[in-house]
Amino acid sequence: MVRTTMHEPLMASDAALLDILTGPQLVIPPKDTFARRDAALDPLMMAAALATGPHVTRNHYAHDFFPGVALPTDEGSWDWTKFTGQSADESQPRKRLTYVSRQAPRKVKAEPTSVEKANILEVTPTPPPVSADAHPPRLSAASGAQTQTSSSSTLPPLEVKCMARTRIPTPHGPAFLHIYHNNRDSKEHLAMVIDPGQLVESSSAMVAPSIRSRSLDAVWSASETEMDRITRGAYVGRLSQAHQRASAPSATRRIAPIDNIPSPLIRIHSECFTGETVGSMRCDCGEQLDEAIRLISQPITVPSASPSTPPTQIPGRGAVVYLRQEGRGIGLLSKIRAYNLQDLGHDTVTANLMLGHGADERGYDIAVAILRDLGLGDREQGEGVRVLTNNPDKVQALEDDGLRVVERVPMIPRSWRMRQAAQDGTLPSSHKHDEHIAGATLIGGNAVYGQDLDKYLRTKVLRMGHILPLWMDGEEDL
Ligand X SMILES: Nc1nc2c(ncn2[C@@H]2O[C@H](COP(=O)(O)OP(=O)(O)OP(=O)(O)O)[C@@H](O)[C@H]2O)c(=O)[nH]1
Which of the residues are catalytic?
Answer: 360, 362
Contacts of 282 (CB under 8 A, 6+ apart): 274, 275, 339, 342, 452, 453, 456
Smallest gap from residue 466 Cβ to ligand X (A): 6
Tell me the C-alpha distance between 216 and 389, whole Å: 28
Judge whether 42 and 34 are in contact, CB under 8 Å. Answer: yes
Confirm or reject binding of residue 285 to ligand X (CB under 6 A): yes
Backbone φ and ψ for 38, nearest 5 degrees, come out as -110, -5
Query: Which of residues 288, 297, 415, 441 is near ligand X by CB under 6 A?
Result: 288
Judge whether 183 and 124 are in contact, CB under 8 Å. Answer: yes
Residues 408-427 that bind ligand X (CB under 6 A): 411
Query: Which of residues 17, 190, 194, 272 is near ligand X by CB under 6 A?
Result: 272
Smallest gap from residue 460 Cβ to ligand X (A): 6
- By beta-carbon proximity to ligand X, the closer residue of 213 and 274 is 274
Stretch that binds ligand X, among 13-21, 70-78, 281-289, 311-319 (CB under 6 A): 281-289
- By beta-carbon proximity to ligand X, the closer residue of 121 and 353 is 353
Tell me the C-alpha distance between 5 and 131, whole Å: 40
Stretch that binds ligand X, among 21-29, 265-273, 294-302, 414-422 (CB under 6 A): 265-273
Closest CA to 316 of 301, 341, 337, 299: 299
Stretch that binds ligand X, among 16-24, 130-138, 264-272, 433-441 (CB under 6 A): 264-272
Query: Which of residues 52, 103, 143, 348 is near ligand X by CB under 6 A?
Result: 348
- By beta-carbon proximity to ligand X, the closer residue of 51 and 461 is 461
Tell me the C-alpha distance between 39 and 42, whole Å: 8
Tell me the C-alpha distance between 16 and 33, whole Å: 10
- Report the amino acid identity of residue 105: P
Query: Which of residues 136, 327, 382, 413 is near ligand X by CB under 6 A?
Result: 327
Query: Which of residues 391, 415, 441, 446 is near ligand X by CB under 6 A?
Result: 391
Confirm or reject binding of residue 229 to ligand X (CB under 6 A): no
Query: Burial letters for 164-175: b for 16+ Cβ neighbours within 10 Å, e otherwise?
Result: bbeeeebebbbb
Smallest gap from residue 97 Cβ to ligand X (A): 28
Query: Which of residues 235, 447, 466, 471 is near ligand X by CB under 6 A?
Result: 466
Over its C-alpha atoms, the chain yields an Rg (Å, rounded) of 26
Confirm or reject binding of residue 292 to ligand X (CB under 6 A): no
Judge whether 146 and 252 are in contact, CB under 8 Å. Answer: no
> CA-based angle 464:470:475, to the nearest 5?
140
Count of other CB atoms within 10 angstroms of residue 345: 8
Confirm or reject binding of residue 193 to ligand X (CB under 6 A): no
Smallest gap from residue 414 Cβ to ligand X (A): 13
> CA-based angle 405:183:388, to the nearest 5?
25
Query: Which of residues 330, 368, 398, 453 is near ligand X by CB under 6 A?
Result: 330
Confirm or reject binding of residue 247 to ligand X (CB under 6 A): no
Smallest gap from residue 394 Cβ to ligand X (A): 5
Helical spans, DSSP H, in 23-155? 41-50, 106-109, 114-123
Smallest gap from residue 407 Cβ to ligand X (A): 14
**Site size for ligand X, by CB under 6 A?**
21
Using DSSP, state whether 317 is helix, strand or coil: coil
Beta partners for residue 197, in sequence order? none
Question: What would the x/- binding string for ligand X be over residues 350 to 389, using CB under 6 A?
Answer: --x------------------------------------x
- By beta-carbon proximity to ligand X, the closer residue of 263 and 288 is 288
Tell me the C-alpha distance between 400 and 240, whole Å: 42
Backbone φ and ψ for 205, nearest 5 degrees, come out as -75, -15
Smallest gap from residue 439 Cβ to ligand X (A): 17
Confirm or reject binding of residue 390 to ligand X (CB under 6 A): yes
Confirm or reject binding of residue 287 to ligand X (CB under 6 A): no
Closest CA to 367 of 187, 171, 156, 126: 187
Backbone φ and ψ for 85, nearest 5 degrees, come out as 85, -15
Query: Which of residues 283, 367, 370, 453 is near ligand X by CB under 6 A?
Result: 283
Smallest gap from residue 348 Cβ to ligand X (A): 4
Query: Which of residues 232, 335, 337, 386 is near ligand X by CB under 6 A?
Result: 335
Stretch that binds ligand X, among 22-30, 211-219, 268-276, 415-423 (CB under 6 A): 268-276
Cα–chain center distance at 236: 26
Smallest gap from residue 292 Cβ to ligand X (A): 9
Tell me the C-alpha distance between 432 and 461, whole Å: 26
E strands, 242-306, in order: 265-270, 300-302
Half-sphere exposure of 127 (CA within 13 A, CB side): 20
Provide the binding-site residues for ligand X, judged by CB under 6 A. 270-272, 283, 285, 288, 326-328, 330, 335, 338, 348, 352, 389-391, 394, 411, 460, 466
